[in-house]
Amino acid sequence: MQSTPPIDHRGPHGDADDADVSWMRLALAQAELAALAGDVPVGAVIVQDGQLLAAGYNRREADQDPSAHAEIVALRRAAAQLGTWRVEATLYVTQEPCPMCAGALVNARVKRVVFGCLNPKAGAAVSLYQLLTDPRLNHRLEVRGEVLAEECAATMRAFFARLRAGPAYGA
């Protein structure tokens, strides 16, 4: 039996010269695209061998598809690009993955997940569940949490504040 990979909590800002911070900023740009389209601002990018493989953002409202979370959108694009469902790469996402997305990441054999802010209501990496590192599953991922956590959380707070203020946002 393999041991459970550790979860790396380096804090909300990471190191200034850290590649994870740069990729998370790109995921934040994807999240902003979701917000502009009226969707919850979650963005994701998939990186393999230091190169951008795929990007995606939340499209649930745009596509009326309950599975169109940023991680799933990016995984589908990466699998198409690679020509295989085995996406052996790193996924950066602005919010801790939910159970559906965590399951997809395990099944896609993603090697590593780096997330921004915690998801206290549905987090499946550390907050509520630990699906990504569960030793009972056939694949476990390396997890790094809370990279640019405050920026990621601020994006979410701003979106929901605008949403509560009126229907004009995202229209």
Catalytically active residues are: 71
Q: CA 164 to CA 2: how far, in whole Å?
A: 46
Q: CA 164 to CA 78: how far, in whole Å?
A: 34
Q: Which residue has the tokens 């802010």?
A: 117
CB-side exposure of 73: number of CA atoms within 13 Å?
23
Q: Which residue has the tokens 């790109």?
A: 26
Cβ atoms within 10 Å of 129's Cβ, excluding its own: 16
